[in-house]
Amino acid sequence: MRTIQAKDIIEAVASMCIKANTELPDDVRAKFEQAMAEEDSPSAKEVLRQLLENADLAAETKLPLCQDTGLAVFFVEIGEDVVVEGGNLKEIINEGVRRGYGDGFLRKSSCDPFTRANTGDNTPAIIHFDIVPGDRLKISYMAKGGGAENMSRVTMLAPAQGWEGIKKYVINRVAEAGPNPCPPTIIGIGIGGTFDHAARISKKALLRRLDDTHPDPQIAAMEKELEEDINQLGIGPMGLGGKTTVLGVKMAVEPCHLASLPLAVNVQCHSQRHEEVEL
């Protein structure tokens, strides 16, 4: 058994929240630069230039990249041989969020669905737990802004619709979303499982690096095909036209029921604000 102290987790969570919201990941920066070189349209180039300048300014001033610092979403992998001392892990993570969003001057966006009253400290966080072998604790954090999340969907396709049906649905979703989620976006796709599971894996897929390749060559090819097709829509940065509507497509595929073909499309903001820590 390995003991991990609550205070170390709180600190790690708080600093992840701040870092992810103020520092543009290097793989995203590289994509912005590549897209800027590939775009012909002056407005597309100008938007990408502004996003790069925004990232420089955020790094320098510690202002968040975007004012919507999102709901705090976590994927936690806890080793079977880990003991957390000093509190309940869910509470500990929420305390880290409270601290990070407070100390980092991040926006608190969590509210009651009916009264719309703000909970005041951006909790409760959305936490997905997974138990894994070993004695490590891995926590991944993602800032999930409302604009992009609102453009996301889950649907239950008929098995006969297959890959063609999936493609059509995803491309249509991006087309419908148009300029709303601040394109260029990143699209997480969950295929399989159940209604809820598809959504969960579509979100988890967004933790992947933009420049990685799916280990399954067939899925890697599907991701590429979908990315190319979506970019043919021509929506471009901020919907002003251009070649860059999405920066990447990340798919997660798992077995599903004989009768179903669950599909989730999770739209993520261009800055893909996420961080992970292993304790």
Partner 1 sequence: MAEYELKTPLKDEDLAKLKAGDVVKLTGHIYTARDAAHKRLVDLLDKGEKLPFELQGAVVYYVGPSPAPPGRPIGSAGPTTSYRMDTYAPRLHGLGLKASVGKGKRNEEVRQALKDHTAVYFGATGGAGALLSKCITKAEVIAFDDLGPEAIRELTVENFPLLVINDSHGGELYVQPDRKAAGIE
**Residues at the interface with ligand SF4 (CB under 6 A):** 66, 68, 145-148, 181-182, 269
- Residue list 85-124, contact with partner 1 (CB under 8 A): 105-109, 116, 118, 120
Q: Indicate the pairing of strand 185-193 with strand 246-256.
A: parallel
Provide the minimum distance between the beta carbon of 126 and ligand SF4 in the complex, in angstroms, as a whole number.
Answer: 15
53 near partner 1 (CB under 8 A): yes
**DSSP assignment letter at 81:** T
Helix residue ranges per DSSP H, 126-161: 146-149
> Cα–Cα distances in Å, from 25 out to 96, 164, 211?
21, 33, 11
5 near partner 1 (CB under 8 A): no
Measured from the CB atom, the residue of 174 and 261 that comes closer to partner 1 is: 174
Provide the minimum distance between the beta carbon of 183 and ligand SF4 in the complex, in angstroms, as a whole number.
Answer: 9
Residue among 1, 40, 14 at smallest CA distance from 277: 14
Question: Which residue has its beta carbon closest to ligand SF4?
Answer: 145
178 near partner 1 (CB under 8 A): yes
Measured from the CB atom, the residue of 106 and 198 that comes closer to ligand SF4 is: 106
198 near partner 1 (CB under 8 A): no
Provide the minimum distance between the beta carbon of 273 and partner 1 in the complex, in angstroms, as a whole number.
Answer: 10
Contact 237, 48 (CB under 8 A): yes
Q: At what angle do helices 89-103 and 6-22 cross, to 10 degrees?
A: 40
Contact 63, 57 (CB under 8 A): yes
Contact 182, 244 (CB under 8 A): no
Q: Which stretch binds partner 1 (CB under 8 A): 80-88, 123-131, 233-241, 247-255?
A: 233-241
Write phi, then psi, for 47 (nearest 5 degrees): -60, -45
Interface residues with partner 1 (CB under 8 A) are 43, 47, 50-51, 53-54, 57-58, 61-69, 105-109, 116, 118, 120, 146-147, 150, 167-168, 171-172, 174-175, 178-182, 229-230, 232-236, 238-241, 269-271
